[in-house]
């Protein structure tokens, strides 16, 4: 099928499902997966083509997750990544491997690989949902992130195991040493690139004041980090995460998140469609009871083992929430099952059952996370909620100042003296650097972008002050602010003959006439000088 026709079919069918589903507040992820299932049942589409495009969704997701975390924060996550992650992969993988061996009479080496595949959880779904709900800052979100990061690394030894089984000439010690060298080399290259090269390139792009060039630079950095990881034999997503983590130390963090978020969401939508494309609908219906049995058994077993791992270290409520959050099976399982099928290492019908079971577990995950707090009382009656640990609570009842010009600086200085909380946004990197040097709370970003406004918690702000004189830009910014917070008080700087006067009046925006205020100051100064001269 023609690529353009594929795109038309995918987006048409997804809208067909997601628009009605949204009325029932069902997450779009479900609609995308259903889209894939329907399309593969009706049309013949090369899944490989969609897979390649969809992989970019996970790359951008992991990059933006990396941007959320500094190196310092990652140092504080050693327990979550290496202790919880290692125990989860070993205990869940071995347990499922043993059950698979005896239940389906599969060779030990293959059954343990299947166990490892089913031990993986979905980075794409879990992190997307936790980010959207802002739950990733809570202890259970932190645990989930740590375990998911380790799982990304754990995919490598699973793929090595498949290579060893299929190629007897390969040396195990050589493969392990090459992987370790590759991992260390990746960290070194991305650190040097992210610390010295990327900030310089971003600075030059920001100086052009061109959104297109800045965005193109971001694409270059994200894809370069991913390709570097692939070059060293590691996963694209791991490289993207490390790249994002280094970039998080730069002042471009908020603008990067705002610019890449739409692309991430669009490409993730394609990823979820590709998940649906993995399902043979006729086979699934014919074997629905055995598939549901596999799905429920795997999810319950994973949840129990993850809870048992965390309970000695964490509160009961945190352990339960983490276990439920990671109970599904992840997207990398598809890669592993595809390789097992390619080398005919086990029965294809059984693999197809596992694939459908993985898809069903993914479909259930948005509902589990959406109703997590309603499910919790069945396991824990203690209603004391854990507090966020990764970041400070966002500002509330604060003022947003847009434009770090002379007026913006004076407003910020006055608010500081009055002990008022404010966040200042400016799209010129030189101004941001000057502001940070002066100790002002200024971030780099385009305030006309809704994602930037959301990142400074505009919904909880009490006032917005726009100090720029670009009427068209001011109009767009005020529209976006009012869309997110209709009750906010907005003050704008304007000229006498402003073409936006009517718009400001309709939306109850306070307009400060620059010319009139300047004239008042000159007149006041004139009378002051006159009085001084008269007294002499």
Domain containing 13 — which CATH number? 1.20.1530.20
* Alpha carbon distances (Å) from 521 to 507, 512, 524, 526: 28, 14, 5, 9
Whether 459 maps to a domain, the answer reads yes
Based on the fold, state whether residues 460 and 326 are members of the same structural domain. no
- Residue 51 has what pLDDT? 67
Q: What is the mean pLDDT of the chain?
A: 82
- Residue 388 has what pLDDT? 42
- Residue 387 has what pLDDT? 43
Residue 509 has pLDDT above 80, yes or no: yes
Q: How many domains does the chain have?
A: 2
Based on the fold, state whether residues 303 and 364 are members of the same structural domain. yes
Residue 506 has pLDDT above 90, yes or no: no
Q: Could you tell me the pLDDT band of residue 521, with boundaries at 50, 70 and 90?
A: low
- Residue 70 has what pLDDT? 62
- Residue 37 has what pLDDT? 86
Q: How many residues does the chain have?
A: 536
- Residue 305 has what pLDDT? 97
Based on the fold, state whether residues 289 and 433 are members of the same structural domain. no
Least reliable range by pLDDT among 19-23, 42-46, 79-83: 42-46
Closest-CA residue to 27 (of 326, 313, 268): 268
> Under DSSP, is residue 389 helix (H, G, I), strand (E, B) or coil?
coil
Whether 358 maps to a domain, the answer reads yes
Based on the fold, state whether residues 349 and 468 are members of the same structural domain. no
Based on the fold, state whether residues 292 and 415 are members of the same structural domain. no
Based on the fold, state whether residues 32 and 143 are members of the same structural domain. yes
Task: Examine the fold and report which residue of 317, 346, 378 is the final residue of a domain before the chain moves on.
Answer: 378
User: What is the pLDDT averaged over residues 346-350?
Assistant: 91
Query: 259 or 118: whose pLDDT is higher?
Result: 118
Token pair, residue 92, equals 């869940």
Q: Residue 512 phi/psi, 5° resolution?
A: -100, 115
Q: Residue 190 phi/psi, 5° resolution?
A: -65, -35
- Residue 393 has what pLDDT? 40
The dihedral through the CA atoms of 499, 502, 506, 508 has a sign that is positive
* Spatial CB neighbours of 73, under 8 Å, sequence gap ≥ 6: 390
pLDDT in tens, 403-461: 898 888 888 888 888 888 899 999 888 888 888 888 888 888 888 888 888 888 898 89
Residue 149 has pLDDT above 50, yes or no: yes
For 151-171, the DSSP string reads HHHHHHHHHHHHHHHH-TTS-
| Long-range contacts of 404-413, Cβ-Cβ distance < 8 Å, separation of 24 or more | 404/428, 404/431, 404/432, 404/434, 404/435, 404/440, 404/442, 405/431, 405/467, 405/468, 407/467, 407/493, 408/465, 408/467, 409/435, 409/438, 409/440, 411/465, 411/467, 412/440, 412/441, 412/442
The dihedral through the CA atoms of 11, 16, 20, 25 has a sign that is negative
Task: Examine the fold and report which residue of 345, 378, 411 is the final residue of a domain before the chain moves on.
Answer: 378
Domain that holds residue 443: 399-535
Based on the fold, state whether residues 429 and 492 are members of the same structural domain. yes
Q: What whole-number distance in Å separates Cα of residue 71 and Cα of residue 242?
A: 9
Q: What whole-number distance in Å separates Cα of residue 134 and Cα of residue 39?
A: 33
Q: Residue 400 phi/psi, 5° resolution?
A: -105, 125
Based on the fold, state whether residues 131 and 9 are members of the same structural domain. yes
Residue 526 has pLDDT above 70, yes or no: no
Q: Could you tell me the pLDDT band of residue 301, with boundaries at 50, 70 and 90?
A: very high
Residue 392 has pLDDT above 50, yes or no: no
User: What is the pLDDT averaged over residues 270-286?
Assistant: 84
Compute, in degrees rounded to 10, the torsion defined by CA atoms 75, 59, 321, 324: -140
Q: Could you tell me the pLDDT band of residue 62, with boundaries at 50, 70 and 90?
A: confident
Least reliable range by pLDDT among 108-117, 257-266, 319-328, 406-415: 257-266
Whether 213 maps to a domain, the answer reads no
Task: Examine the fold and report which residue of 349, 378, 407 is the final residue of a domain before the chain moves on.
Answer: 378
Query: 14 or 94: whose pLDDT is higher?
Result: 94
- Residue 299 has what pLDDT? 97
Quote the DSSP letter at residue 388.
Answer: P
Based on the fold, state whether residues 425 and 490 are members of the same structural domain. yes
Residue 92 has pLDDT above 90, yes or no: yes
Based on the fold, state whether residues 350 and 429 are members of the same structural domain. no
Query: 93 or 270: whose pLDDT is higher?
Result: 93
Read off the pTM.
0.66
Least reliable range by pLDDT among 94-98, 304-308, 363-367: 363-367
Whether 519 maps to a domain, the answer reads yes
Q: What whole-number distance in Å separates Cα of residue 269 and Cα of residue 124?
A: 10
Mean pLDDT comparison of 201-210, 244-253, 254-263, highest-scoring range: 201-210
User: What is the pLDDT averaged over residues 154-182?
Assistant: 73
Query: 71 or 487: whose pLDDT is higher?
Result: 487
Closest-CA residue to 28 (of 39, 15, 43, 18): 18
- Residue 457 has what pLDDT? 86
Percent residues over pLDDT 90 in the chain:
22
Based on the fold, state whether residues 302 and 442 are members of the same structural domain. no
* Spatial CB neighbours of 310, under 8 Å, sequence gap ≥ 6: 84, 143, 318, 319, 322, 323
CATH number of domain containing 478: 3.40.50.720
Whether 83 maps to a domain, the answer reads yes
Whether 408 maps to a domain, the answer reads yes
Q: Could you tell me the pLDDT band of residue 290, with boundaries at 50, 70 and 90?
A: very high
> Which string of b and e fits 231-258 if b means at least 16 CB within 10 Å?
ebbbbbbbbbbbbbbbbbebbbbbbbbb
Based on the fold, state whether residues 53 and 120 are members of the same structural domain. yes
Whether 238 maps to a domain, the answer reads no
Whether 205 maps to a domain, the answer reads no
């Amino acid at each position: 099928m023609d690529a353009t026709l594929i795109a038309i079919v995918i987006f048409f069918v997804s809208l067909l499902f997601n628009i009605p589903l949204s009325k029932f507040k069902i997450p779009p992820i479900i609609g995308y997966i259903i889209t894939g299932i329907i399309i593969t049942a009706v049309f013949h589409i090369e899944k490989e083509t969609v897979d390649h495009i969809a992989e970019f969704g996970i790359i951008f997701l992991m990059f933006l997750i990396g941007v959320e975390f500094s190196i310092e924060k990652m140092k504080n996550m050693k327990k979550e990544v290496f202790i919880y992650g290692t125990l989860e992969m070993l205990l869940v993988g071995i347990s499922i491997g043993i059950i698979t061996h005896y239940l389906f009479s599969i060779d030990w080496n293959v059954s343990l690989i299947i166990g490892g595949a089913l031990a993986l959880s979905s980075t794409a779904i879990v992190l997307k949902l936790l980010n959207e709900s802002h739950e990733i800052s809570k202890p259970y979100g932190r645990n989930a992130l740590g375990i998911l990061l380790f799982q990304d690394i754990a995919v490598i030894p699973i793929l090595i195991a498949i290579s060893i089984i299929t190629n007897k000439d390969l040396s195990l010690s050589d493969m392990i040493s090459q992987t370790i060298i590759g991992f260390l080399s990746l960290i070194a290259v991305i650190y040097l690139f992210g610390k010295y090269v990327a900030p310089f390139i971003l600075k030059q792009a920001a100086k052009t004041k061109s959104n297109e060039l800045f965005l193109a630079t971001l694409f270059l950095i994200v894809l370069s980090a991913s390709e570097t990881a692939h070059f060293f034999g590691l996963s694209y997503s791991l490289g993207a995460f490390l790249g994002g983590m280094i970039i998080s130390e730069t002042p471009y963090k908020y603008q990067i998140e705002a610019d890449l978020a739409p692309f991430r969401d669009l490409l993730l939508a394609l990823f979820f469609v590709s998940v649906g494309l993995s399902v043979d609908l006729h086979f699934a219906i014919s074997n629905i009871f055995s598939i549901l049995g596999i799905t429920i058994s795997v999810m319950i077993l994973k949840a129990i083992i993850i809870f048992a791992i965390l309970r000695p270290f964490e509160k009961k409520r945190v352990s339960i929430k983490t276990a439920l959050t990671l109970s599904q099976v992840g997207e990398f399982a598809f890669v592993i099952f595809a390789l097992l099928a390619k080398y005919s290492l086990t029965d294809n019908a059984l693999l197809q059952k596992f694939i459908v079971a993985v898809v069903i577990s993914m479909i259930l995950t948005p509902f589990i996370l959406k109703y997590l707090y309603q499910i919790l009382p069945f396991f824990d009656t203690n209603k004391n909620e854990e507090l966020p640990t990764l970041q400070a609570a966002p500002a509330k009842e604060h003022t947003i100042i847009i434009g770090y010009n002379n007026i913006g600086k004076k407003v910020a200085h006055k608010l500081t003296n009055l002990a008022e909380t404010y966040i200042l946004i400016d799209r010129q990197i030189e101004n941001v650097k000057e502001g940070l040097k002066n100790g002002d709370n200024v971030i780099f970003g385009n305030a006309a972008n809704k994602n930037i406004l959301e990142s400074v918690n505009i919904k909880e702000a009490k006032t917005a002050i726009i100090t720029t004189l670009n009427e068209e830009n001011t109009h767009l910014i005020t529209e976006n602010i009012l869309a997110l917070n209709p009750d906010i008080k907005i003050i704008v700087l304007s000229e006498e003959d402003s073409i936006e006067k009517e718009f400001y009046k309709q939306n109850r925006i306070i307009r400060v006439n620059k010319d009139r205020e300047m004239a008042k100051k000159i007149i006041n100064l004139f009378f002051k000088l006159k009085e001084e001269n008269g007294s002499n």
